[in-house]
Amino acid sequence: MAKASHSLRMRLALRLGVLHVVILVVVIAAIVWSISPPRTSFVDAKIAEAIADSLEARGDALVLRPDADLRPFLEHGPPIWFVAVDEHGRRLSYGAVPEVYRSLSQSLRDLEASEIHASGSPERLTLRIHTQDTDDGRLHLMVGGGRLLNVTNAFYLITLWLGWRIGLPLVLVTMIAVPWIIHRSMAGVAKVAKQAEAIDIRERGVRLEDAAVPRELQPLVRAFNEALERLGEGYEARDRFLADAAHELRAPIAILETRLESLPPGDTRTRLLTDLARLSNLAEQLLDLQRLGKQAAELIPVDLVSLAREVSADVAPLVLDAGYELAMDAPERPVRVMGDRLSLSRAFTNLFQNAIVHAGGRGLIHVRVTEEGAFQITDEGPGIPPEQREQVFTPFYRLKPSSVGTGLGLHLVQEIVARHGGHIGVLDAPGGGARFVVQLRPAPR
């Protein structure tokens, strides 16, 4: 069972997104390592937030009412000091404020969120300035001491801060931009794919445009073109062999026919002449295939009614001699299709020959031309099983190994119809037998 294909766009986008996340994590880890103890120290932001939430304004003063978040910091861990002031000038000082920061606290209302990191001892100089909007105005808080931020918390906070500001936008842009960029870069691949889909193996010299694809894919396109060239050479060699073989067979066949006709009448002579006619027909059909491959005839309007009548008149003696009856239905007015008269005549003739050989030597062979540019040839023979109706157009395929047919006639008809842009199919005849239906392109009116 074939594996499901993956989208190159999504795979690249996902991998680049993962790469960006990995790079961001490495950068954050490097930042945390560079600021981790004992190199420097940080006041835990949760302490400052808990203090700010526990402050209340009462008259002209600020009062600390520790809540459940602040109590663990006050009761456990190193002593905390802080200075708080609101925009109304109310102040509160708590704990042992370092001497060096007492003068700075006088200007606290003019300071915004910032940090001072102490390197080594004394870590009590580590400082965080926290600002927060409250119902009573803006609060400015200077905090020191207490539990210092550890490596894990530092990594978490930095990741949180950088993640949605840098990481998330970067990943989103990658998931959108990369597929778009790949789509634009691979536009030539879609063009070359359409060229490949349109390749007709019967048209030699067709090549894909390697300049339309990115440089990395050009070797693949060139290799495909080289494979087409080798395939074309193989078909050319096959065609030459078939043409040469058919030409070489003509002379021995003519000689054999002359010698067989000089034999006394009898069953042996009749059987030999029948086999020779079959061989002669095979050689002619091989030549027809070879000529068809080289032919580049221009398609012109052809009257299908007159062509059907002409071919029917030519093959009528063969049909009657083989024990069949012949009938034809066609419109009174011309039915014009785009085609090559000689090729279509060969297609008609081969369908007649197929009916003569396979219809059992009895019944009616019926020709019908429709107004829509189609013609049908129906017989009353055994018919063709549905599962074999596609195979009968394969070269040298026979429904029965003992059949006297050459196995090339229907293939030749299919090739002719395909070159006319038409379609041929096999159906069951109403009274039993096979009905071959050929639909051609109507001529413009």
- Yes or no: say if 255 and 276 are a contact pair by the CB < 8 Å rule: no
Query: Is 444 inside any structural domain?
Result: no
* In contact, 399 and 384? CB cutoff 8 Å: yes
Instruction: Answer whether residue 122 is part of any domain.
Output: yes
Least Cα distance to 376 among 359, 351, 394 occurs for 351
Cis peptide bond N-terminal to 122, omega within 30: yes
Which of 277, 294, 311 is the C-terminal boundary of a domain?
294
In terms of domains, do 32 and 50 share one? no
The CATH number of the domain where 253 resides is what? 1.10.287
Is there a single domain that holds both residue 301 and residue 425? Answer: yes
Domain that holds residue 235: 196-294
* 59 and 111 together in one domain: yes
Q: Looking at the 3D structure of the chain, how many domains does it have? A: 4
Distance between CA atoms of residues 51 and 274, nearest Å: 114
Specify the pLDDT at position 2: 47
Tell which of 294, 323, 344 closes a domain. Answer: 294
Work out the angle between the directed axes of helices 267-294 and 409-419 (0-180°, nearest 10).
Answer: 20
Q: Which residues contact 290 (CB under 8 A, 6 or more apart)?
A: 239, 242, 243, 246
Residue 287 lies in a domain: yes
Model pTM?
A: 0.46
Indicate the helix (H) or strand (E) that contains 378.
strand 374-378
Q: Are 159 and 118 in contact (CB under 8 A)?
A: no
Residues 410 and 308 in one domain: yes
According to the model, what pLDDT value does residue 440 have? 92
Any domain includes 445? no
Task: Say what the pLDDT of residue 381 is.
Answer: 87
Strands (E) across 215-335 are located at: 300-303, 325-329
- Looking at the structure, tell me whether residues 259 and 337 fall in a common domain: no
Per-residue pLDDT at 1: 45
Question: Rounded mean pLDDT of the chain?
Answer: 79
Tally of CB atoms within 10 A around 316: 15
* Whole-angstrom distance, CA of residue 65 vs CA of residue 49: 13
The C-alpha atoms of residue 272 and residue 278 are separated, in whole angstroms, by: 10
Both 245 and 351 in a single domain?
no
The token pair at 40 is: 């420097």
Which of these three, 276, 294, 312, is where a domain ends? 294
Kindly state whether residue 181 falls inside one of the protein's structural domains.
yes
Q: Is residue 190 part of a domain?
A: no
- 26 and 84 co-located in one domain: no
How much is the pLDDT for 412? 81
- Whether residues 259 and 344 fall in one domain: no
- Cβ-proximal residues to 261 (8 Å cutoff; 6+ apart), any chain: 273
Separation CA 366–CA 435 (nearest Å): 9
54-83 b/e (C-beta count within 10 Å ≥ 16 → b)? bbebeeeebeeeeeeebeebbeeeeebbbb
Looking at residue 223, what is its pLDDT?
86
User: Domain for residue 164, yes or no?
Assistant: yes
**Which residues, given as ranges, of the chain have pLDDT below 70?**
1-8, 32, 34-41, 119-124, 146-154, 156-157, 200-204, 238-239, 241-251, 270, 273-297, 396-407
> Do 278 and 380 belong together in one domain?
no
Q: Can you give the pLDDT at residue 141? A: 94
Q: Are residues 432 and 307 in the same domain?
A: yes
Number of helices followed by number of strands (H, E) in the chain: 12, 14
Domain identity same for 61 and 135: yes
Question: Does residue 221 fall inside a structural domain?
Answer: yes
Indicate if 422 and 306 belong to the same structural domain. Answer: yes
CATH number for the domain harbouring residue 346:
3.30.565.10
pLDDT of residue 69: 85
